[in-house]
Amino acid sequence: MEGDEVNVDAGERKAPRGSSSAAIDAAFRESFEAFYGRELKPVIGLAFVLSGSRAGAEDLAQDAFMSALRHWDRVGAYDDPGGWVRRVLVNRIRSGFRRRAAEVKALARLRDRGFEAPELPAEAAETWAAVRRLPAKQAQVIALRYYDQRSIEDIARILDRSENTVKTHLQRAKRALALMLGEEETDNAHH
């Protein structure tokens, strides 16, 4: 399907198929709404630290959640649907994808209208600005590791890379950030 399909085989499991009764439809909506409510802020934060745009971060996150909603019967059965949404997000950031207005209207009814991208202390804002100057894969690994606090294994699954590749990107990114920021070590990236 156009831009929505992402191959996330790791951690995938099949959901039992059932009838499409009103009770199942209600459970489907409640399941997605609970997931959306739990994951929205961290996903918008991740989009913000990767894109540097407050308005763009929310748009990008909404796009990723719309993809999840369209495929919720499949995505909701994954062991880590949040990882799937994050993968869609980083793919969209990489490709410069913009959301369609009709989809935003549908999600607007669900979302917390009062959310804004996180305010960062000056030092953290400088660090994340430096992260955005890194090559895309390095920036994604840093954001997923330090902002989203994902494990190396999770990051490898989200980005469809080996754990060794993720470790290499992480190591290179930390070295580059240390040079950019004039620091000796960046093990504790700023939130």
Q: Distance from CA of residue 126 to its chain's centroid?
A: 21
Q: Do 62 and 101 contact (CB within 8 A), yes or no?
A: no
Q: Which residue, chain included where needed, has tokens 């994902």?
A: 150
Token couple for 38: 């739990």
Q: CA 51, CA 56: separation in Å to the nearest integer? A: 7
In a shared domain, residues 59 and 99:
yes
Report d(CA 64, CA 89) in Å as an integer: 5
- Enter the tokens of residue 5: 């399909």
Same domain flag for 70 and 81: yes
Same domain assignment for residues 85 and 136: no
Nearest-10 crossing angle of helices 54-70, 81-95:
130
Domain that holds residue 125: 120-191
Residues 125 and 112 in one domain: no
**Which of the listed residues 89, 119, 149 is the one where a domain comes to its end?**
119
Write the Ramachandran bin of 190: left for phi over 0, alpha for psi from -120 to 50, otherwise beta.
Answer: beta
Mark whether 128 and 96 lie in a shared domain: no
**Count of the separate structural domains present in the chain:** 2
Q: Is 1 among the domain residues?
A: no
Same domain, 168 and 150: yes
- pTM for the whole structure: 0.58
83 closest CA partner among 93, 68, 69: 68
Task: For residue range 125-158, list pLDDT tens digits in order.
Answer: 888 889 999 998 999 999 999 989 999 999 999 9
Final residue before a domain boundary, out of 88, 119, 150: 119
Averages of pLDDT over runs of 10 residues in the chain (191 residues) are 39 40 59 92 93 86 93 90 94 64 48 57 80 92 92 94 96 93 58 47
Is 13 within a domain? no
